[in-house]
Amino acid sequence: MAPAFAASADFAIDKPAGRPCPNLRDDFRCGIHAQLRERGFPGCEVFDCFGAGQQLTQVTFGGRSWREDAAPAQFALLPVMRQLHESLWYLTEALELPAATLHAEVRTALARVERLTTGSPDELAALDVAVERHAVGDLLGRVSDLVRGGGPDRRNADLMGRDLRRTDLRGASLRGAYLIATDLRGVDLGTADLLGADLRAADVRGADLSRCLFLTRPQVTAARGDMSTRLPVAVTTPSHWR
């Protein structure tokens, strides 16, 4: 309902923000959920709000849905809450990484972001979420540096369509890198930092991503893998890889 999308390889139709998708049923479920890819909506399968939608409707707005009187406010706050919840995902992972000297800072940051998610609609609307996200990003960057131990820096690199099977990316910083349609078959990425990396159509069949840092379900779902692709414990294998 809230996001807009345009007809493309990810979506079969145009849909403006704030307009219900024609596949949305009265019970809030998707009428074609089991056939999203076949019906031309792989972008819906990739999207993940990290629990932000549930937090908004069930906590921030006390159980009211957008179908009642809260639609404009909920839609405006969804991007804010989503960024906060994505930060919670990364910070929770950071506590499991071997960066003990920074764990106290991570716990403090995690507690702060958790408090922010419980704010009122007015408090969330006034929040400068970019500032909060930047602070979390800096902290995660220091955690990454400790864990990776100085791997190659390929942040924001344009690697689209490249054959990277013979490139040593173990422990690389690939933050924000464009890995669209790259060939990573059989590659061991070690502890590469994949925060924000674009893995759409990246071929990761047989690749070892099990120790990669800050890899999320949407990134994996957008990639091309198979049952031989190794993933972190917290990331489930997409059903279309089977």
pLDDT tens digit sequence for 209-231 = 999 999 999 999 999 999 999 99
Whether 224 and 237 share a structural domain: yes
The per-residue pLDDT for 97 is 96
- Is residue 113 located within the same domain as residue 199? no
Q: Are 193 and 144 in contact (CB under 8 A)?
A: yes
| Dist CA 84 CA 180 (whole Å) | 26
Helix then strand then coil, in percent of the chain rounded to 5, is 40, 5, 50
**pLDDT the model gives residue 157:** 97
3-state secondary structure at position 230: strand
pLDDT at 219: 97
The predicted pLDDT at position 66 comes to 81
Amino acid at 169: L
SS3 224: strand
pLDDT score at 151: 84
**Same domain, yes or no, for 94 and 127?**
yes
Residues in the chain with pLDDT values less than 70: 69-70
Number of domains in the chain: 3
Q: Which own/partner contact pairs does 169-177 have at CB distance under 8 Å and 24+ positions apart?
A: 172/148, 173/144, 173/148, 175/141, 175/144
Q: Indicate if 66 and 88 belong to the same structural domain.
A: yes
Residues 136 and 108: beta-carbon distance below 8 Å: no
- Residue 133 phi/psi, 5-degree rounding, is -65, -40
Domain of residue 168: give its range. Answer: 151-242
The set of residues, in sequence order, having a beta carbon less than 8 Å from that of 19 and lying 6+ positions away, is 1
pTM: 0.91
